[in-house]
Amino acid sequence: MKRFVRSTFVTCAMALALATPATAAHAESQEGAENQTPAPSCLTYSPGWRYTFVINDCSTAYTVKVLYGDGTDVPCQEVAPRNWFTFPGYGTEGNTVEGIVLCDHADGA
């Protein structure tokens, strides 16, 4: 019984330790998203583990970037009207794609 309680405690402590950094990174990426201009509804995205596709169904070009749950920063890219652009996917490490935002000239667009 003692062994079971100890192993359960160790397992729970390890799970909590692993989850804490991911939660902090997720909070940081959300704070960064609040300062960004949201993309119009004619810009959509399709996330996958290997690639995230951003589709522009607008009549004008937009410079956008993808926001990731772990705070990964990717360069802004221009997506031409009626076209699409490929960004990195969320990977196999538990990352998430949180959305897309417009870039301003200060972002290097």
β-sheet with 97-102: strand ranges across: 37-38, 97-102, 62-68, 77-79
Residue 22: pLDDT band (50, 70, 90) is very low
- For 57-94, the pLDDT digits (tens) are 999 999 999 999 999 999 999 999 999 999 999 999 99
Domain count, the chain: 1
Residue 105: pLDDT band (50, 70, 90) is low
Per DSSP, helices labelled H in 1-109 are 2-34
- For 28-52, the pLDDT digits (tens) are 444 455 678 899 999 999 999 999 9
Q: Taking Cα atoms as reference points, which of 73, 78, 86, 70 lies closest to residue 103? A: 78
The CATH number for 49's domain is 2.60.40.20
6, 11, 24, 30, 65 from 75: Cα distances, Å: 47, 38, 22, 18, 7
Domain that holds residue 40: 2-107
| Residues 39, 46 contacting (CB under 8 angstroms) | no
Question: What is the rounded CA–CA span in Å between residue 80 and residue 56?
Answer: 7
Tokens of 12: 């729970």
